[in-house]
Amino acid sequence: MLEIVGLTVAYGPVIALQDVSMSIPHGSITAVLGANGAGKTTLVRTISGLVRPRTGSVRLDHTEISRLAPEEIARLGIAHVPEGRGVLAELTVEENLRLGGLWRKDPTDRRRALAEAYELFAPLAGRRHLPASTLSGGERQMLSIARALVARPRVLLLDEPSLGLAGRVLGQIMARIKHLVRERGLTVLLIEQNARSALSIADEAVVLSLGRVAAADRARRLAGEEGLRHAYLGF
């Protein structure tokens, strides 16, 4: 379980998150919703150690991780698909994918994870030896997600994975992720602009507004609350 307790994060004078608490249960998908600038990206960047919180804590299975370096957090099995460009454009597609699993010890399992990634993301297989700079925007997004899955993470942080992806492709990816959630107990934190589709995928949902938690509930129930939807989710 990923637990966030009393998290306050500031960039100099700008307070991006204020006293945010939530718990993200094992084997579930939690959607984080909110307007632009609500603090969604800040939340996942804090979880993965790129941003240091001013106060509060982040715990993975009761272990405090908010003071660890990002690389050590990644090695605990938290994979972060960053917002926008996360691929290493100078490296080939295959090199990008391999990097995802390099910290894991078992080479046979790494090879298997790589093969699975090509299976799921067919357009990448044909381009494996090309530099990632030659990929289209959507293909880069696929690469970024595929690379995170190669790590066989316990926790997956997805910051707007739908960016640039065709609906059908996104559907396939989400089906795969759902499968991992059910079969392997993967824990997912999903940030999405499109609240309606995120709520249809997620089990739980948290709404952020101006750096605070405005609502948190089962995703289905949140989708049914008309007032909330109008105020924060715009549908």
Ligand X SMILES: Nc1ncnc2c1ncn2[C@@H]1O[C@H](COP(=O)(O)OP(=O)(O)OP(=O)(O)O)[C@@H](O)[C@H]1O
Compose the 83-122 pattern: x for residues touching other proteins by CB under 8 A, - for all others.
--xxxxxxx---x--xxx-xx-------------------
39 binds, among ligand X, Mg ion, other proteins, none (CB under 5 to 8 A by kind): ligand X
Read off the amino acid at residue 214.
A
* Kind plus residue range of the DSSP H or E element containing 222: helix 219-224
96 binds Mg ion (CB under 5 A): no
Contact between 141 and Mg ion per CB under 5 A = no
Give me the residue label for tokens 């942080």: 157
Q: Could you give the CA distance from residue 111 to residue 32 in angstroms, rounded to a whole number? A: 33
The answer to whether the beta carbons of residues 125 and 118 sit under 8 Å apart is: yes
Binders in 8-37 for ligand X, by CB under 6 A: 11, 14, 16, 34, 36-37
Site for Mg ion in 64-83 (CB under 5 A): 83
Nearer to other proteins, 99 or 180 (CB): 99
Which residues are CB-contacts of 103 (< 8 A; sequence separation ≥ 6)? 74, 75, 151
Compare residues 41 and 66 and give the one whose CB is closer to Mg ion: 41
In 87-212, which residue ranges form alpha helices assigned H by DSSP?
93-101, 107-120, 122-125, 137-150, 167-184, 195-201
Binding residues for other proteins (CB under 8 A): 48-50, 69-71, 74-75, 79-80, 82, 85-91, 95, 98-100, 102-103, 133, 147, 151
| Residue ranges that bind ligand X, judged by CB under 6 A | 11, 14, 16, 34, 36-42, 83
